[in-house]
Amino acid sequence: MDKIYLNKMSFYGYHGLFPEENKLGQRFIVDLVLEVDLQKAGESDDMNDSINYGTIFQVTQEVVEGKSRNLVEAVANDIADKLFSTFAKLSACTVKVYKPDPPIPGHYESVAIEIRRERVR
């Protein structure tokens, strides 16, 4: 299957188990891999045969910067659900959500979760 990648999209959200995370917020980084048949788009050179990258960004932004969630797992799942409901051409997606500054003692670049979902037909 063909793939569209959007890497290291940065947003500010209010997700986490601790009250200060919900009040102060923090950065979230999102990577997406969207599986979609792009053959027709490649042949036609017409955006209607693909998925608009700007719209993908907006959909992801609405989820991450929207309703507060306790877990980044829920954020990732909501992103996948919203992508499927927005893009009929989407066959599957991988969503990776990074939390660069979680309230965990220690030295590390980030924590992250990754999910993969397929459209149920």
Given 23, 40, 67, 99, the catalytic residue: 99
- pLDDT single digits (tens) 68-85: 999 999 999 999 999 999
Domain positions in the chain are 3-118
Please choose, from the candidates 19, 47, 30, the residue with its C-alpha nearest in 3D space to the C-alpha of residue 110: 30
Whether the CB-CB separation of 114 and 48 falls below 8 Å is answered with no
Helices (H), the chain: 19-24, 39-44, 53-64, 72-86
In this structure, which topology does domain 3-118 adopt according to CATH?
Answer: GTP Cyclohydrolase I, domain 2 (3.30.1130)
Q: Identify whether 99 is a catalytic site residue.
A: yes
- pLDDT < 70 positions in the chain: none
CA–CA gap between residue 121 and residue 114 (Å, rounded): 23
Given this model, what pLDDT does residue 102 score?
A: 86
Determine the pLDDT at residue 108: 87
